[in-house]
Structure 1
């Protein structure tokens, strides 16, 4: 609107609306705003007209308004910081005894947390795998993690239920991970899905016994004591589990 006004000495409201391509129903609101900010002048008469203030003066006024606004913001922010700092400092001395536990219910969030653990693992990655299995194409992060860990002389071990042997895509996936360096064994059943990384990070599912199949809550817990217990559980099952060839023999596949 201001750029339209500077093109000639004065305009009526209707004329400047056409020149600036501003809807007629908004023209007076915009003109009033320009006048209040001292960027335009209103000339009374039978039909009021409007003209632009000298651009140099207009820009000087705009800059002054911005400086005033910044000064006000600075004064307010200084006062707020002074008032909030003691509260923030006091809050640092309190911790939630359960802040190392994360509850996940959205399948996408669970998958993302699983990928994060694989990415963060530096020395050891242990897992229980049971139906429903992650589609092979959805775990490229896991393959990269296995290769990286094995290059660094880390340990990657996975336990699978016999259900894998009836799924050709999953068998191919297990063999691909094996070529990358994962050690795999098989067992008849596993209590839940589980990932333990570096004896500190744990992710496991908690199937809802009431809602039934498909309703799952996962817990991510970063706690060395719990991870240590779960590693012992993994080791116990690992020692009793068998190779793929022995598993096929046992179930007659």
Structure 2
């Protein structure tokens, strides 16, 4: 039975219906069958077998033997298969001609459509948190030459940004640029300090800015993702924009590097914080001059 099922499936590949295939396989088992006999042999409904036999006869795969009770026999398998293959070749030829004509007819419409583009088709708006997270991970994973980011609360923990750690390690190993500016809030968050040290360990260059207006990532001088707090929606809601525009990306690169050059490294920022804490504690006992990066460097030549 399994062999018949396989052979029926092969005949279907050559263009027969399932009933036609089963009836043909039944007909080859002896010289002549009546319609009733072949229906039983092929397990095809009696009310359908006449249509099936007529179809096989019309396709020259079966022969009708007229008489008081009509009989049917199959043509030889090699002839049947050749005829099915010829039918497939003719059908394929028609499809090739049709596809060529259809392609020629559709091409002018296609060409015309290329001249009409949405002026904002390079901007994608994301509001769902899961979509934003997925796109953030994908953009980091696709970065090849440069990855720049502004990072500020609410923070993304390492377990939520595995893609960022992997991208950082990959780009560092390839000698590419991976820099991150964190807002000063990070210095008062022990958990986040541990997070950014993990990024530093895999190659991220880190500096601390006094403040940052929003979360931002710029990759390869061409793609920007900015995550903006929504001033209208509920607390914590954000709208993210993914913008693929080299000119905008270059402008934001310039802004990034301008802040980068003015910002201390993580270790310098920690020393400044500690020095400021000491100065505040001593404020009531004596005046203290403001502490600068240069003062810290002078105290600690290393």
Q: Settle same-fold status: TM greater than 0.5.
A: yes
Q: Secondary structure at the match of 2:79?
A: helix
Question: Is this contact kept in 1: 2:149–2:217, CA < 8 A?
Answer: yes
Aligned ranges 1:91-240 → 2 under 5 Å: 91-161=113-183, 162=185, 166=189, 168=191, 170-186=192-208, 190-213=212-235, 215-235=237-257, 237-238=259-260, 239-240=262-263
Equivalences, count: 251
Distance 2:178 2:245 in 1: 20
Higher RCO, 1 or 2 (CA under 8 Å, sep at least 6)?
Answer: 1
Question: Is this contact kept in 1: 2:158–2:165, CA < 8 A?
Answer: no
Distance 1:172 1:56 in 2: 76
Q: Secondary structure at the match of 2:95?
A: helix
Residues 21, 103 of structure 1: alpha-carbon distance in 2 compared, 3 angstrom cutoff: farther
Q: Shift in Å at residue 177 of structure 1?
A: 0.9
Instruction: Determine the structure 2 residue equivalent to 1:245.
Output: 270
Q: Shift in Å at residue 182 of structure 1?
A: 1.0
Q: Shift in Å at residue 163 of structure 1?
A: 5.9
What is the Cα-based RMSD across aligned positions, in Å?
Answer: 3.7
Instruction: Determine the structure 2 residue equivalent to 1:73.
Output: 95
Q: Deviations over 1:10-30 (max 9, x none)?
A: 345554444334566765554
Q: Deviations over 1:80-135 (max 9, x none)?
A: 22222333334444544333223334555444433343244344311123445444
Question: Is this contact kept in 2: 1:10–1:50, CA < 8 A?
Answer: yes
Segments of structure 1 that go 5 or more residues without pairing to the other structure are none
Question: Is this contact kept in 1: 2:187–2:270, CA < 8 A?
Answer: no
Residues 22, 228 of structure 1: alpha-carbon distance in 2 compared, 3 angstrom cutoff: same
Residues 198, 8 of structure 1: alpha-carbon distance in 2 compared, 3 angstrom cutoff: same
Distance 1:39 1:251 in 2: 97
Residues 178, 74 of structure 1: alpha-carbon distance in 2 compared, 3 angstrom cutoff: same
Residues 27, 197 of structure 1: alpha-carbon distance in 2 compared, 3 angstrom cutoff: same
